[in-house]
Amino acid sequence: MRYAELYERSVTDPQSYWAEQAQLIDWHAPFSQVLDASRPPFAKWFVGGQTNLCHNAIDRWLETQGDLPALIAVSTETADAAPAEKIYSFRELHAEVQRSAAIMLSLGVTRGDRVLIYMPMIAEATIAMLACARIGAIHSVVFGGFAANSLATRIDDARPKLVVSADAGSRNGKAIPYKPLLDDAIRLAKHQPRHVLLVDRGLAPMTLVQGRDLDYASLREQHLDAQVPVTWLESNEISYILYTSGTTGIPKGVQRDVGGYAVALASSMQTIFCGKPGEVYFSTSDIGWVVGHSYIVYGPLIAGMATIMYEGLPVRPDAGIWWSMVEKYRVTRMFSAPTAVRVLKKQAPEFMKKYDLSSLKALYLAGEPLDETTSQWISSALGVPVIDNYWQTESGWPILSIARGTDDSPTRLGSPGVPMPGYKVRVIDESTGDTCAANRKGVVVIDWPLPPGCMQTVYGDDARYVDTYWSRFGGQQVYSTFDWGIRDEDGYYFILGRTDDVINVAGHRLGTREIEESISSHPNVSEVAVVGVEDKLKGQVAVAFVVPRNADAVATPQARQAFEAEVMGVVDRQLGTVARPARVHCIGLLPKTRSGKLLRRAIQAICEGRDAGDLTTIEDPASLQQIRAALAG
Ligand code: AMP
């Protein structure tokens, strides 16, 4: 079927479209209702149906391809010479996940309990996620680059019974201890997990807390023959919580269901990613992000593909490492982010010619705007189509892309494409709520109901879900993506940046408020503003402007430099290096309106060398001069 027809059907007759897509997965008990639309803006998909993500990812494939690879874990961090590799067939993964599930059960984790996973990119992380899914426990994976305070906030919100972690991650060949950060986080948190299960990689020493901390390897030995049957879950039970940044300093727990998510992923693997059982999928993301959840772990496995989990940099030991894996494992579909491609672009292009990349059919890029130069460079270097796709932690799978599995609709440079099945996307005028004419800028919104796979709610806070996402345009039931965009006359969308205070650094979403709160805890910080500033490599970087309490303490260039390093250290310790600002400037005054509102957009404009815009409400124009002077100095 052609894209246009398929899309039309998905939005005019969603019930029949999704009932049909639901046949792509296994159901233990059929659903009685495709969509329960009785409580907008909430939506329940496949009501009454019983299924399980782990069953669909593993058990379902045992009979037909039990001995084919399922999980290929590669690390260039822990091996000096050749990359370390561990391949699990579907059968081996099945056994390993049951061991992990048996350990969790033995620690009292049951259906509906939360398990927080704070892990580097090692096989045990994926195994723990699948083990949770198997027994109906709710996982919440926290990206390894986050530090104690970020972790503590998430522990308090998710209230996990168990935390699964490791002694250390590794970056650029250097161990990054996780355990001390985790200990600090648990100390800071009000909620105390009953147990911490630790994978000891032998990278960093660990001090175990008696009675709480347990060694994974020893417990695994006790459960080698474990047989843990799948727990069948009603489609709308919770599969996971994944925290993401928003306008406030408190991250939101994006909550996802079981059945809708499984169907959406299975459907997207056909319509967008064209994955076939027995093929190999390689996503360079991290399991701490939504791409990792959907397209490292669940999506490829649900489609019967092997998935590669890679721990390491794209340029170590050299810029050919990804392509050597494409050759070795005969990867057919690859998923990455524009920043990673820009990093590779700085390296010599011969690495792409060195390897046999004939298995590769397409490269998918997402997470941040894809500039035309990067897109054209990588597409001609690889000789395969590059498919931009736009989505969010909240949506769980692409909102805009090109449905390669339907027809060969052309891509359009600079555009992530057209709406994917079930997404009723529009661009609306922020003040009137009216749909914008073609090529007019507005807010990208989606009409209710969101298709299967999208967030159910904010974990534990339905009101926050409704207020944040659905109440922005005078009662109109539209979901706001918080992105500006335009739709051209042919229906292609262009994304023009966030409408809120969220910034996007190398495809990682960060809340400027969170960073500001962290910086404020430095004793010599009186006020701070953090803005996202355009960056050639990373898309955006965070830049902080600080008003010190004691200006004399930062009077000399040396003192300012030391202060900048200290502030960065505070962010590293509290939030993690991922949130560290690229620069910290000292100024005497922040630009604000007369009512005291920070003029973030004006600061950002000055940083990017643009006009500062309408400044009629500014309290003291001299503050802008201070920003300019700080940047010049
Ligand atoms: P996250 O929830 O971390 O995946 O971040 C989602 C945000 O990243 C979106 O709201 C956009 O601002 C941005 N984003 C994701 N994919 C794209 C894309 N293909 N083009 C432009 N921006 C994107």
CATH code assigned at 518: 3.30.300.30
| Tokens read off for 357 | 């990349």
Mean pLDDT of the chain: 94
Q: Where among 481, 498, 515 does a domain terminate?
A: 498
User: In this predicted model, what pLDDT tens digit does every residue of 399-455 receive, in sequence order?
Assistant: 999 999 998 889 999 999 999 999 999 999 988 899 999 999 999 999 999 999 999
Confidence at residue 615, expressed as pLDDT on a 0 to 100 scale: 80
Strand partners, 195: 162
Q: Is 286 in the pocket of ligand 1 (CB under 6 A)?
A: no
Confidence at residue 408, expressed as pLDDT on a 0 to 100 scale: 82
Of 7-21, 399-413, 461-475, 536-550, the poorest mean pLDDT is in 461-475
Looking at the structure, tell me whether residues 494 and 478 fall in a common domain.
yes
Terminal alpha carbon distance of the chain: 60
- Look at residue 623 and tell me if it is in a domain: yes
Specify the ligand 1 atom closest to the Cα of 393.
2
- Look at residue 628 and tell me if it is in a domain: yes
User: In this predicted model, what pLDDT tens digit does every residue of 209-244 receive, in sequence order?
Assistant: 999 999 999 999 999 999 999 999 999 999 999 999
Specify the ligand 1 atom closest to the Cα of 495.
21
Of 7-11, 223-227, 451-455, 554-558, the poorest mean pLDDT is in 554-558
Q: Is 267 in the pocket of ligand 1 (CB under 6 A)?
A: no
Residue identifier of the C-alpha nearest atom 21 of ligand 1:
369
Per-residue confidence band for 350, with pLDDT thresholds at 50, 70 and 90: confident
- Look at residue 295 and tell me if it is in a domain: no
Residue 367 CA to ligand 1 centre (angstroms): 4
Per-residue confidence band for 475, with pLDDT thresholds at 50, 70 and 90: low
Q: Is 252 in the pocket of ligand 1 (CB under 6 A)?
A: no
Residue identifier of the C-alpha nearest atom 20 of ligand 1:
369
Residues 249-253: what's their mean pLDDT?
A: 85
Q: Is 164 in the pocket of ligand 1 (CB under 6 A)?
A: no
Residues 77-97: what's their mean pLDDT?
A: 91
Looking at the structure, tell me whether residues 588 and 561 fall in a common domain.
yes
User: In this predicted model, what pLDDT tens digit does every residue of 155-195 receive, in sequence order?
Assistant: 999 999 999 999 999 999 999 999 999 999 999 999 999 99
Q: What is the CA radius of gyration of the chain?
A: 24
- Look at residue 49 and tell me if it is in a domain: no
- Look at residue 610 and tell me if it is in a domain: yes
Q: Which of 399, 504, 510, 512 to mutate to test the pocket of ligand 1 (most atoms within 8 A of CB)?
A: 504
Per-residue confidence band for 611, with pLDDT thresholds at 50, 70 and 90: confident
Residue 396 CA to ligand 1 centre (angstroms): 11
The C-alpha angle with vertex 209 and arms to 205 and 212, in degrees rounded to 5, equals: 125
pLDDT at 79 > cutoff 90: no
Residue identifier of the C-alpha nearest atom 19 of ligand 1:
390
User: In this predicted model, what pLDDT tens digit does every residue of 359-386 receive, in sequence order?
Assistant: 999 999 999 999 999 999 999 999 999 9
pLDDT at 474 > cutoff 70: no
- Look at residue 485 and tell me if it is in a domain: yes
Looking at the structure, tell me whether residues 521 and 436 fall in a common domain.
no
Q: Where among 474, 498, 522 does a domain terminate?
A: 498
Q: Is 151 in the pocket of ligand 1 (CB under 6 A)?
A: no
- Look at residue 590 and tell me if it is in a domain: yes
Number of separate domains in the chain? 2
Residues 329-334: what's their mean pLDDT?
A: 98
Residues 77-96: what's their mean pLDDT?
A: 90
Q: Is 483 in the pocket of ligand 1 (CB under 6 A)?
A: yes
3-class DSSP state of 310 = strand
Question: Dihedral, CA atoms, 260, 16, 62, 226, nearest 10 degrees?
Answer: 30
Specify the ligand 1 atom closest to the Cα of 400.
19
Looking at the structure, tell me whether residues 481 and 594 fall in a common domain.
no
Report which of 64, 424, 465, 420 is spatially closest to residue 265, judged by C-alpha positions. Answer: 420
Looking at the structure, tell me whether residues 489 and 510 fall in a common domain.
no
Residues 59-77: what's their mean pLDDT?
A: 98
Looking at the structure, tell me whether residues 555 and 605 fall in a common domain.
yes
Residue 273 CA to ligand 1 centre (angstroms): 18
Residues 37-50: what's their mean pLDDT?
A: 97
Residue 325 CA to ligand 1 centre (angstroms): 27
CATH code assigned at 488: 2.30.38.10
User: In this predicted model, what pLDDT tens digit does every residue of 237-246 receive, in sequence order?
Assistant: 999 999 998 7
Strand partners, 498: 483
Please answer whether residues 209 and 231 qualify as being in contact, where contact means their C-beta atoms are separated by less than 8 angstroms: no
Looking at the structure, tell me whether residues 476 and 530 fall in a common domain.
no
Residues 339-350: what's their mean pLDDT?
A: 84
Confidence at residue 584, expressed as pLDDT on a 0 to 100 scale: 97
Looking at the structure, tell me whether residues 434 and 492 fall in a common domain.
yes
DSSP state of 467: I
Specify the ligand 1 atom closest to the Cα of 502.
12
Confidence at residue 80, expressed as pLDDT on a 0 to 100 scale: 67
Residue 242 CA to ligand 1 centre (angstroms): 16
Looking at the structure, tell me whether residues 524 and 561 fall in a common domain.
yes
DSSP state of 173: T
Residue 336 CA to ligand 1 centre (angstroms): 13
Confidence at residue 296, expressed as pLDDT on a 0 to 100 scale: 98
Report which of 239, 260, 254 is spatially closest to residue 459, judged by C-alpha positions. Answer: 254
- Look at residue 599 and tell me if it is in a domain: yes
| Tokens read off for 307 | 């998935």
DSSP string, 554-608: G-SHHHHHHHHHHHHHHHHHHT-GGG--SEEEE-S---BBTTS-B-HHHHHHHHT
pTM: 0.94
What is the distance between the alpha carbons of residues 209 and 249, in angstroms, rounded to a whole number? 31
Residues 259-285: what's their mean pLDDT?
A: 98
Q: Is 366 in the pocket of ligand 1 (CB under 6 A)?
A: yes
Looking at the structure, tell me whether residues 477 and 592 fall in a common domain.
no
pLDDT at 318 > cutoff 80: yes
Q: Is 481 in the pocket of ligand 1 (CB under 6 A)?
A: yes
Q: Is 338 in the pocket of ligand 1 (CB under 6 A)?
A: no
Looking at the structure, tell me whether residues 555 and 469 fall in a common domain.
no
Per-residue confidence band for 633, with pLDDT thresholds at 50, 70 and 90: confident
Looking at the structure, tell me whether residues 609 and 521 fall in a common domain.
yes
CA 192 to chain CA mean position, Å = 26
Q: Which of 342, 368, 388, 494 to mutate to test the pocket of ligand 1 (most atoms within 8 A of CB)?
A: 368
Q: Where among 473, 498, 523 does a domain terminate?
A: 498
DSSP state of 294: I
DSSP state of 60: G
User: In this predicted model, what pLDDT tens digit does every residue of 501-518 receive, in sequence order?
Assistant: 899 999 898 989 889 989
- Residue 482: give the domain boundaries: 425-498
Residue identifier of the C-alpha nearest atom 4 of ligand 1:
392
* Contacting residues for 271 by C-beta, under 8 A, at least 6 apart: 6, 403, 404, 405, 406, 420, 421
Confidence at residue 250, expressed as pLDDT on a 0 to 100 scale: 80
Q: Which of 495, 499, 501, 502 to mutate to test the pocket of ligand 1 (most atoms within 8 A of CB)?
A: 495
